């Protein structure tokens, strides 16, 4: 087993306003806009290619967002998956897969190669009871439970060939993979990819690079872990924040890595959540769009 390489990239801050819980950074390769959410604000935020900042305040907690083929934005709220018009900010309910279950809310989500929105939930009970799930939401609003018994569903990403789906349980401290068919979705039970150590952090949001390596944020570790397809942490990219939450690839050549963070106490010093960016000489894969 090779030794993990610790890398401290040349990081720049992208925004000049604070985030409570920054999450779900998503690069729009058609417009050059960077979208993200602040779960607790709650808000969806668009950092425009022209420098503008558009903020869409939400009525309840927002877990994630995703791009739609139509140009609309899918937002996963406590009250369900809504489709938002980014020009007007108006929203319409598509479905509520979680159905208002107690101690539960929609959390991390991404669109797969199948054009469906895959979105999980977080078990909000204290202590957690294992009620979290992962859903597959179809463009027509129908949905299915893919797996349950989780604590905090997170870390969704797909291999470049669309044949493997990656997924994590942040509170369970593990990542797993599913065999995936770009037409049918998941085709079998999950396989454990890695159990994370405290030094590697709590496995949070994730992205995929063009070489098939899985990038997953390590909350409380101050780093983003780059995993090989067999689950080995080959590199850890350190950022100047204790709690990175999710990376994404952006820029004209998908060569810029954006990382959201959350507000946290770092050894007695309070850090505001923000968005960082750096280059690592590695290209990402474009995100898929919800077939709406």
Task: State yes or no: is 204 an active-site residue.
Answer: yes
Q: Domain locations in the chain?
A: 5-279
pLDDT in tens, 53-66: 999 999 999 999 99
Q: Are 64 and 76 in contact (CB under 8 A)?
A: yes
* Residue 174: how many other CB atoms lie within 10 Å: 18
Examine the pLDDT at 1 and tell me if it is beyond 70.
Answer: no
* 3-class DSSP string for the chain: CCCCEEECCCCEECCCCCECEEEEEEEECCCCEEEEEECCCCEEEEECCCCCEEEEECCCCEEEEEEECCCCEEEEECCEEEEECCCCCCEEEEECCCCCCCCEEEEEEEECCCCCEEEEEEECCCCCCCCEEEEEECCCCCEEEEEEEECEEEEEEECCCCCEEEEEECCCCEEEEEEEECCCEECCCCEEEEECCHHHCEEEEEEEECCCCEEEEEECCCEEEEECCCCCEEEEEECCCCCEEEEEEECCCCCEEEEEEECEEECCEEECECEEEEECCCCECCCCCECC
**How large a percentage of the chain has pLDDT more than 70?**
99
Q: Which CATH class is domain 5-279?
A: mainly beta
pLDDT (0 to 100) of residue 247: 98
**Mean pLDDT, rounded, for 242-259:** 97
CA atoms within 13 A on the CB side of 197: 6
pTM over 0.85? The answer is: yes
What is the average pLDDT across 21-35?
A: 97
At 2 the pLDDT is 62
> With 90 as the cut, is the pLDDT of residue 266 above it?
no
Confidence bin at 265 (pLDDT 50/70/90): confident
> Looking at residues 163-185, what average pLDDT do you find?
96
Catalytic residue among 72, 204, 230, 253: 204
pLDDT in tens, 117-137: 999 999 999 999 999 999 999
Q: What's the whole-number average pLDDT of the chain? A: 95
| Position 224 pLDDT exceeds 60 | yes
Non-local CB neighbours of 8 within 8 Å, separated by 6+ positions: 237, 238
User: Which has more pLDDT, 161 or 198?
Assistant: 161
Measure the CA–CA gap between 193 and 262, rounded to whole angstroms.
26
């Amino acid at each position: 087993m090779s030794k993990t390489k610790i890398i401290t990239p040349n990081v720049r801050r992208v925004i000049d306003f604070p985030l409570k819980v920054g999450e779900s950074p998503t690069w729009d390769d058609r417009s050059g806009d960077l979208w993200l959410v602040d779960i607790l604000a709650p808000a969806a935020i668009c950092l425009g290619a022209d420098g503008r900042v558009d903020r869409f305040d939400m009525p309840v907690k927002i877990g994630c967002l995703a791009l739609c083929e139509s140009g609309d934005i899918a937002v996963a709220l406590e009250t369900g998956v809504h489709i938002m018009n980014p020009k007007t900010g108006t929203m319409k309910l598509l479905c509520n897969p979680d159905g208002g279950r107690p101690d539960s809310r929609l959390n991390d989500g991404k669109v797969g190669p199948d054009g469906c929105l895959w979105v999980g939930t977080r078990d909000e009970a204290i202590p957690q009871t294992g009620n979290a799930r992962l859903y597959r939401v179809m463009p027509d609003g129908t949905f299915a439970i893919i797996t349950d018994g989780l604590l905090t569903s997170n870390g969704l990403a797909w291999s470049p060939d669309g044949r493997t789906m990656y997924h994590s349980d942040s509170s369970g401290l593990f990542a797993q993979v599913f065999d995936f068919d770009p037409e049918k979705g998941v085709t079998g039970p999950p396989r454990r990819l890695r159990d994370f150590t405290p030094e590697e952090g709590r496995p949070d949001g994730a992205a995929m690079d063009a070489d098939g390596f899985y990038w997953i944020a390590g909350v409380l570790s101050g780093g983003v872990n780059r995993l090989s397809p067999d689950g080995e942490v080959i590199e850890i990219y350190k950022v100047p924040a204790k709690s990175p939450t999710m990376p994404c690839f952006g820029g004209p050549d998908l060569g810029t890595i954006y990382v959201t963070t959350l507000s946290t106490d770092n050894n007695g010093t309070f850090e505001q959540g923000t968005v960082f960016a750096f280059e690592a000489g590695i290209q990402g894969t474009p995100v898929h769009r919800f077939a709406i």
